[in-house]
Amino acid sequence: MPRLNRTFYSRATVEVARDLLGRMLIHQTRAGRIAGRIVETEAYSGFEDEASHGYRGKTARNVVMFGTPGFSYVYFIYGNYWMMNVVARPQRVEYPGAVLIRALEPVEGLELMASNRSGRPQRDWTNGPGKLTMALNIDARHDGIDLTMPDSPLFLETGQPVPDTNVATDPRIGLGRRVSEPWVSKPWRFWIANSNFVSGQ
């Protein structure tokens, strides 16, 4: 199956977040291929978006959000968890944009995932942004890599796009109280309506 290319990622962040539903996220590890179907995403777009790490400009952590579309933005939070994002924004615009992958449906490498999420039912392997990075072994090694390169260990494949009739939207989850209107209410969370693997919040 072909990888998503630069053109795919070089569009408005919110549009890409919607279009990432149904695509495949793959980590080619030494032990084998671990893959899941993307069933939930969130868009973080622009300097103005108070919920985005791009708010108030570049820092050492978020600089990749301002860079080339199709790169990964992986960061550490709450002392325990890695969050996997894909840089997505129009080209030639100095503007931060990224899509958080919030949930997957396990597809390949189920034994590896079970090992990475030991003791938990399959339903809880990848139904949250911190859980799916644990299941796929995604961490600091994967920050700032080009997901479109043929030899990158982490990449996305075209999968199967989801029709509008099967897409649901709502405001984003987990935003702090300092995030005010209109950003707190932007319907920038997308998920596949009939999926059993969306995050539980």
Residues of the shown chain interacting with DNA in the complex, contacts defined by CB under 7 A: 42, 44, 51-54, 56, 59-62, 65, 73, 75-81, 83, 85, 98, 100, 117, 120, 124, 128-131, 134, 172-178, 199, 201
For residue 44, give the nearest of 65, 68, 72 by alpha carbon.
65
Q: How far apart are CA 39 and CA 103, in angstroms?
A: 6
Query: 162 CB contacts (<8 Å, ≥6 apart)?
Result: 21, 22, 192
Nearer to DNA, 107 or 173 (CB): 173
Residue 101: CB minimum distance to DNA, A? 9
Nearer to DNA, 83 or 164 (CB): 83
What single-letter DSSP state applies at residue 141?
Answer: G
Helix (H, G, I), strand (E, B) or coil at 57: coil
For residue 73, give the nearest of 13, 150, 159 by alpha carbon.
13
Nearer to DNA, 131 or 186 (CB): 131
Nearer to DNA, 98 or 156 (CB): 98
Residue 49: CB minimum distance to DNA, A? 9
Neighbouring-strand partners of residue 117: none
Nearer to DNA, 8 or 125 (CB): 125
Residue 124: CB minimum distance to DNA, A? 6
Q: Where are the beta strands (DSSP E) in the chain?
A: 24-29, 32-45, 72-77, 81-87, 97-108, 154-157, 167-170, 189-192
Residue 7: CB minimum distance to DNA, A? 22
Residue 1: CB minimum distance to DNA, A? 25
Helix (H, G, I), strand (E, B) or coil at 3: strand
